Amino acid sequence: MLAPATLSILRFTLWQALLSTLLSVVFALPVALSLARQRRFPGRLLLIRLMAVPMGLPVLIGALGLLGIWGRNGVINQGLALLGVQAPVSIYGLAGILLAHVFFNMPLAARLMLAGLERLPPEYWQMAASLGMRRRAIFRLIEWPAVSGLLPGIAGLIFMLCATSFTLVLILGGGPGATTLEVAIYQALRFDFDPPQAVALAALQLAVTALMLLLLTLWPAPPEVGLTDQRPTRRFDGESWSARLKDGLWLGLAFLFLAAPLAQVLLSGLRSNLVSLLSDPAVHQALAVSLGIALPSGLVAVLLSFAFSRARIALARASGLPARLLKAGIGAASSLVLLVPAIVIATGWFLLLRRFGNVAIFAAPVVILINAMMALPFAMRVLQPAVDVHHRRHDRLAESLGLSGFSRLRWVDWPGLKRPLLTALSFAMALSLGDLGAVALFGADRLTTLPWLIFSRLGHYRSADADGLALLLGLVCLLLTLIGQPGRAGENRR
The string of DSSP letters for 16-60 reads HHHHHHHHHHHHHHHHHHHHHH-TT-TTHHHHHHHHHHHHHS-HH
Look at residue 222 in the predicted model and tell me its pLDDT. 54
Contact 321/360 with Cβ under 8 angstroms? Answer: no
Residues 6+ apart with CB under 8 A from 21: 105, 155, 158, 159, 162
Question: What are the tens digits of pLDDT across the range 274-328?
Answer: 888 889 999 999 999 999 999 999 999 999 988 888 888 877 777 777 777 777 7
Residue 101 phi, psi (nearest 5): -65, -40
User: Which is higher by pLDDT, 165 or 89?
Assistant: 165
Residue 222, class by beta-carbon neighbours within 10 Å (0-12 exposed, 13-18 middle, 19+ buried)? Answer: middle
In the predicted model, what is the mean pLDDT of residues 52-70?
Answer: 86
Give, as one character, the DSSP assignment of residue 143. I
In this prediction, residue 492 carries a pLDDT of: 38
Secondary structure (3-state) at 417: helix
CA dihedral 273, 276, 280, 284 (to 10 degrees): 70
Predicted local confidence at residue 335, as pLDDT: 63
User: Please, what are the domains in the chain?
Assistant: 1-271 (1.10.3720.10), 272-494 (1.10.3720.10)
Over residues 22-34, the mean pLDDT reads 95
- pLDDT score for 398: 76
Whole-angstrom distance, CA of residue 312 vs CA of residue 301: 16
In this prediction, residues 259-285 reach a mean pLDDT of: 90
pLDDT of residue 173 exceeding 50: yes
Q: Which pLDDT band holds residue 97 (cuts at 50, 70, 90)?
A: very high
CA distance 433 to 300: 15
Average pLDDT over residues 146-174: 87
Q: What dihedral angle (degrees, nearest 10) is formed by the CA atoms of 191, 195, 200, 202? A: 70
Reported as a single tens digit per residue, the pLDDT across 337-394 is 667 777 788 888 888 888 887 777 788 888 899 889 888 888 887 888 888 888 887 7
pLDDT at 135 over 90: no
Instruction: Identify the weakest region by mean pLDDT among 27-41, 78-92, 160-174, 416-430.
Output: 78-92
Q: Would you place residue 117 in the very low, low, confident or very high pLDDT band (cuts 50, 70, 90)?
A: confident
The CA distance from 475 to 479, in Å, is 6
pTM of the model: 0.82
Q: Which whole-number Å values give the CA distances from 52 to 7, 42, 155, 472, in the listed order?
A: 36, 18, 18, 20
Own/partner pairs for 210-215, CB < 8 Å, 24+ apart?
Answer: 210/339, 212/156, 212/159, 212/160, 212/163, 213/160, 213/338, 213/339, 215/156
What is the rounded CA–CA span in Å between residue 5 and residue 276? 45
- Cα(440)–Cα(202) distance, rounded to whole angstroms? 16
Is 402 in a helix, a strand, or coil? coil
User: 379 and 301 in contact (C-beta within 8 Å)?
Assistant: yes
pLDDT at 345: 83
Distance CA 53, CA 62 (A): 10
Please give the Cα distance from 258 to 106 (Å, whole number): 10
Tell me the C-alpha distance between 117 and 37, whole Å.
9
pLDDT of residue 229: 45
What mean pLDDT is predicted for residues 433-439? 81
Residue 70 CA to residue 65 CA, distance in Å, equals 9
Q: Say whether pLDDT at 110 is over 70.
A: yes
What pLDDT is stored for residue 11 in this prediction?
93
Residue 253, pLDDT score: 95
Cα 53 to Cα 75: distance, rounded to the nearest angstrom: 22
Q: How far apart are CA 459 and CA 171, in angstroms?
A: 9
